[in-house]
A and B are shown apart, each in its own frame.
Chain A
Amino acid sequence: MNILEARKIHKSYGNKFTRQEVLKGIDISIKKGEFVTIMGASGSGKTTLLNVLSTIDRLSHGSLEIEGEELTKSKEKKLAEFRKHHLGFIFQDYNLLDTLTVKENILLPLSITNISKKEALEKFQMVAADLGIKDIAGKYPNEISGGQKQRTSAARAFIHEPSIIFADEPTGALDSKAASDLLGKLSTLNEKRKATIVMVTHDPVAASYSSRVIFIKDGQIYTQLNKGEESRNTFLKDIMKTQGVLGGVHNEH
C-alpha cells in the first residue's frame, strides 16, 4: 500500500522573469514501512523535494497524496494541521526549542492529541529508551551534545507515531560515530515500529542504512537503487558507484 503518492511534481521559484525551475516533474511513491533515501548533489533539488513532500513548501503543479488524502489544493492551515497529526520531522540543525527541556521538546507533538499525561509519559519512556536519551530528559538543548540533540529530535519525530517521518540531512552536523549511532537507531525504529521514513542526504553511508535510494539530478529522478537482500556494505558500494556516474559533488568518505 502506498502511503505517499506524488505525481509530476513541479516547483519553481521567482517571478515570470527570474523563474527558476527546481523540480521538473518528479513521480514518487512510498510504501508503508519503507525507509527511503533521496540523494543528489548540492543544488539538485533534494531538500526542495523533501519540503514539498512534507507540505512545508507548496508545489507549483502536480499532485501529492498522503494516506489517500489529496493535499495539493489544501489551505495552509489545513496543511499545518495535517503535519501536526500525521508527519514527523528531523532536521539537520536539530530544530529543538532551546527554551524547553529535552523531555518537553519530545512531548510537544503529543500535546495536541487527547492523550492523557500518564500515557504520554509512558510513550516518552519507551521512545527515550529506544534512543538512549533517558538520562538527559531534564537537560536543556544547549547542555547536550550534537548527537544527543539529534536523537532528541528523532524522538520527537517518532513519539506521536506519525504516518511518515521526514529527515533532512539528519547526520549533516554530526561526527561519524554519532551519525552511525543515530542511523542505526533510525533503522531499528523503522523495523520495530514499522515507521515510514523519508530521508534526504548526500552522504552515501547514511543512505546505505535505508531500503531504497532515489537519485535526483537537476530536478528530475535519475535512477533508483533497491537494497533487496544485499548487505549494507554491498549496498553502500552500489550507491557510491551510482553517485560516481551521477557526477557532482562526490562523497568525502
Chain B
Amino acid sequence: MSINQLIFRSFQRNVKSYYLYVFALVFSAALYFAFVTLQYDPSMAEASESTRGLVAIRAASVLLIVIVTVFLLYANNLFIKRRSKEIGLFQLIGMTKNRIFKILTAENVILYFGSLFIGTFFGFAFSKLIAMTLFKITGVDAVASLYFSDEAFIQTLLVFGSIYILIMLMNYLFIRNQSILSLFHITSKTESRVSKISSIEILIGIFGILLILAGYYVSARLFDGDFVSINHLFLAMIFILASVIFGTYFFYKGSVRFITNMIRKNKGGYLNINQVMSLSSIMFRMRSNAMLLTIITTVSALAIGLLSLNYISYYSAERNAENTAPTDFAFVTSEDAVAFGEVLKESRISYSEQRVDVLRVEIDIKEITGNDIENKMRVAVISDRYVEGIDVSQGETLFSGYSDALLTLLDLKDSGTVTFHGLTAVFNQEYVGIVNDSVLPLYFTGGLPAVIVNETTFTMLANDMDPDIQFDSSLYIGFTLADRETVEAADTLFQSMPFSQDSGNNSQYSVALQQKINMGTTMFSVGFLGLTFLITSGCILYFKQVEEGDEEQPNYKILRKLGFTQNDLLQGILRKQLFNFGIPLVVGLMHSYFAVKSGWFIFGTELWTPMLIVMGLYAALYSVFGFLSVLHYKKVIKMSL
C-alpha cells in the first residue's frame, strides 16, 4: 500500500473522530473571516468612522487571533491524543517518525484547509448577518450587502496558515517525544495519584481565597478617591487582576481538593455511586483541571464583565435619552412648540401636548443623604398635578428621575426631611422616596432628580420664588406622539425646524440615536468578542469533557457490569457536570460582578438591569455546553457495555 492510499484509508476511517476538530476549525474560520470582512466592508465606513470605533475593531481582531489560536491548539491536542494508537501502530510496522509526521501533515492539509474554506464560506454568509446586526445596533441606515472581500480572505489565509504551522510544530514535538509503548497507552494513562492532602495544600487554598477577597476589596475602593493619580489607579488595577487570577488558581488547586477530600474522608470509604461518578472523578483530575478551570473562569469573568459594561452603556443610552427628553419632543418656549405643532398637523401626525410649569428652588438634603459633600442643591420643582398616576400629599415630597449612578452619587436614604429655601420662607417637607420615571428634560434637571410636590406647596413656592435662580423659561412643553411609527418622520420634521438645535428643544429619538452611534461600534466589537469568549470557553470545556468521557469509559463499563444502571451513572454525571460547569461560572460571575461594580458608573447610569440581563443570558448560553456534555456522556455510558 502506498502512502497515499494509507493516508486516504486512515482519513476515511477517522472521519468520526475528526468531527470535533473540524467543528472547531470551521467555527473559528467563520468567526474570524466574518469579523475581518467587516473591517474591509465599504458600507462599514459609516458605522466606524470614528477612530475609536476603528481601534476597537482592530483590537478585537488581534484578541480574536489569540483566542482562535489557543482554541485550535487545544482542539488539536485532543485530536492527536485520540489518534495516538494509530501513530503507535505506524511506528510498529517500521515507519520512521518523519514519515508519520509527513502523513499527518498531508492529512491535516486536506482537513485543515478544507475546513478553512468551508468556514470562510460560512463566515461570508454570516458576515452579512453580523453587518446587519451592527447597523441595527448603531442605527446606521446602510443596507448590508453580501460583499466578498479579497483582503479579508487573504488576511484569514495568512492568520490560519500561521496557526497551521504552529499546529504542525506541536504535532512534530508530540510525535518526537513519544515512544511506541507510551503512544499505545496514552489514552489509558492515568493522572498522577491524589496523594495525601498536605497542610500546605490547605494553606494554598486559604491563601487563594484571601487573594480573591483582597482583589475584591481593592476593586470596591478603586474609585473611592483612595487612588488619585492615573499611575496609582493603573497599579491598583494590575494588582486586582493578578490577585484575583492567582487567587482563583490557588482556590481551585487547594480549596476544591481540600473540600472534596474532607467530604470523602468523612465517608470513610463508603461512597455511593453518585459520589463515585462525581467526587472521585473530580478529585482525580483536579491537578490538571485547576489550570483549565482558572483559564475558563478568567475568560468568563472577562466576557461577562465586558458584556455587562457594554450593555450598561447601551442600556443607559435609552435612559439617558429619556432623561434628556422625557417625551418624544421637548420644548421650553411656547412659540417653538406651536410652530412645530403646526408642522406636525400639516403632516397629519397626531400627538398630545403637555405643558408643565417648572420652578427652581434651593433645597437642603442633609437629612436624607449619606454623602456629606453636597447638601444644598438647586432642583427643578413641579406640581404633582402634571404627573400622571402620582399623588403627593401636603407636606410630602417625591423625587423622580432615578438612576443607579444618581443613587450611588447621592446615597439617598429611604425617608427623611428635606428643607426648601424660598426667597423668604424656609420650610420642611417629608421626603417619601424616589420614582423611576423621569418627568422633566435634562434642560431643567441638570442631571439631578426632579422634585414633585403637592399643588398647594407648589403655589406657595411659586409666590415665594427666588427670581435670580430661575430658568430662562419656566415652562416645559412635551409632545407625545399618538403613534410610535411616526417617530422617524416627526424627527425629520423636527430636525428641519430652525430651532431644533436650540438649548432645551430636544427630540428623544435623535438623542438616543446619537448616543447609539457614538458607542455602537465599540459595543459591537466588545459584544462580538464576549460572544467569542463564551463560545470558545464553552467549547474547550466541552472538549475537555469529551476527553474525560473517553478516558472514563472503561470505568462505566465496569460499573455497568456490576449492575449499575445507565440512569445511576447519569445521575452522578449530572452532579459532576454541575461542578465542572457550575464552579467556573459561579466564580466567573462573582469576579465580573465585582469588576463591574467598581467602575460601571463610568459607562452608564443603570447597573442592575443590564448586568443581570447579561449575566442571565451568559449563564443560559453557557449551560448549553454543559447540557451538550451531559448528552455526550449519556452516549458514552450507553455505548460502554
- Residues of A in contact with B (beta carbons under 8 Å apart): 56, 77, 80-85, 87, 89, 91, 95-101, 103-104, 106-112, 117, 120-121, 124, 137, 140, 142-143
**Contact mask for chain B residues 172-205; partner A; CB cutoff 8 A; 1 contact, 0 none:** 0000000000000000001001100000000000
The smallest beta-carbon distance between A229 and chain B, in angstroms, is: 36
Chain A residues, Cβ within 8 Å of B641: 56
Given known contacts A104-B271, A124-B269, A83 and B276 CB-to-CB distance under 8 angstroms:
no
**Contact mask for chain B residues 556-573; partner A; CB cutoff 8 A; 1 contact, 0 none:** 011111111111000000
A95–B563 Cα gap in the complex (Å)?
Answer: 13
Considering the complex, give the chain A residue whose CB is closest to the CB of B272: A111
Give the 9 A-B CB pairs with smallest separation, nearest first: A83-B563, A84-B563, A103-B269, A111-B272, A99-B280, A95-B558, A80-B565, A99-B284, A104-B269
The smallest beta-carbon distance between B87 and chain A, in angstroms, is: 24
Chain A residues, Cβ within 8 Å of B283: 99
Considering the complex, give the chain A residue whose CB is closest to the CB of B275: A111
Given known contacts A111-B273, A143-B193, A85 and B268 CB-to-CB distance under 8 angstroms:
no
Cβ-based interface call for B555 (8 A): yes
> Does the CB pair B563–A81 fall under 8 Å?
yes
A142–B188 Cα gap in the complex (Å)?
Answer: 12
A58–B57 Cα gap in the complex (Å)?
Answer: 61
Q: Find A112's partner among B273, B555, B567 (CB 8 Å cutoff).
A: B273
Q: List 10 A-B contacts (CB under 8 A).
A: A80-B560, A80-B566, A83-B562, A84-B562, A85-B563, A89-B562, A95-B561, A97-B276, A98-B555, A111-B271
> Does the CB pair B271–A56 fall under 8 Å?
no
The smallest beta-carbon distance between A101 and chain B, in angstroms, is: 7
Chain A residues, Cβ within 8 Å of B564: 80, 84, 112
Chain B residues, Cβ within 8 Å of A85: 563
> Does the CB pair B562–A108 fall under 8 Å?
yes
Chain B residues, Cβ within 8 Å of A111: 270-273
> Does the CB pair B555–A80 fall under 8 Å?
no
A77–B273 Cα gap in the complex (Å)?
Answer: 16
Considering the complex, give the chain B residue whose CB is closest to the CB of A55: B563
Chain B residues, Cβ within 8 Å of A97: 276, 280, 555, 558-559
The A/B interface has a contact count, at CB < 8 Å, of: 83
A95–B310 Cα gap in the complex (Å)?
Answer: 53
Q: Find A120's partner among B270, B280, B559 (CB 8 Å cutoff).
A: B270
Given known contacts A104-B280, A120-B270, A98 and B560 CB-to-CB distance under 8 angstroms:
no
**Contact mask for chain B residues 259-301; partner A; CB cutoff 8 A; 1 contact, 0 none:** 0000000011111110010001101100000000000000000
Most buried by B among A80, A107, A112, A137: A80
Chain A residues, Cβ within 8 Å of B558: 95-97
Chain A residues, Cβ within 8 Å of B272: 111-112
**Contact mask for chain B residues 565-588; partner A; CB cutoff 8 A; 1 contact, 0 none:** 111000000000000000000000
Q: Find B271's partner among A84, A100, A143 (CB 8 Å cutoff).
A: A100
With A112-B272, A142-B193 already in contact, 15 other A-B pairs whose C-beta atoms are closer than 8 Å: A56-B561, A56-B641, A77-B567, A80-B565, A84-B563, A84-B564, A91-B561, A98-B190, A100-B280, A104-B269, A104-B270, A104-B276, A108-B271, A112-B273, A120-B270
A84–B560 Cα gap in the complex (Å)?
Answer: 9
Chain A residues, Cβ within 8 Å of B563: 80-85, 87
The smallest beta-carbon distance between B401 and chain A, in angstroms, is: 60
A108–B566 Cα gap in the complex (Å)?
Answer: 16
Chain A residues, Cβ within 8 Å of B276: 97, 99-100, 104, 108
Which residues B12-42 have CB closer than 8 A to chain A? Answer: none
Which residues B522-575 have CB closer than 8 A to chain A? Answer: 555, 557-567
Q: Find B565's partner among A77, A95, A110 (CB 8 Å cutoff).
A: A77
A6–B514 Cα gap in the complex (Å)?
Answer: 84
Chain B residues, Cβ within 8 Å of A110: 270
The smallest beta-carbon distance between B274 and chain A, in angstroms, is: 9
Chain B residues, Cβ within 8 Å of A104: 269-271, 276, 280
The smallest beta-carbon distance between A110 and chain B, in angstroms, is: 7
Considering the complex, give the chain A residue whose CB is closest to the CB of B285: A99
Considering the complex, give the chain B residue whose CB is closest to the CB of A103: B269
A124–B559 Cα gap in the complex (Å)?
Answer: 19
Considering the complex, give the chain A residue whose CB is closest to the CB of B273: A111
A117–B273 Cα gap in the complex (Å)?
Answer: 15
A96–B561 Cα gap in the complex (Å)?
Answer: 12
A98–B552 Cα gap in the complex (Å)?
Answer: 10
Chain B residues, Cβ within 8 Å of A87: 563
> Does the CB pair B193–A117 fall under 8 Å?
no
Considering the complex, give the chain B residue whose CB is closest to the CB of A140: B193
The smallest beta-carbon distance between A72 and chain B, in angstroms, is: 17
A9–B152 Cα gap in the complex (Å)?
Answer: 68
A188–B271 Cα gap in the complex (Å)?
Answer: 28
Chain A residues, Cβ within 8 Å of B281: 99
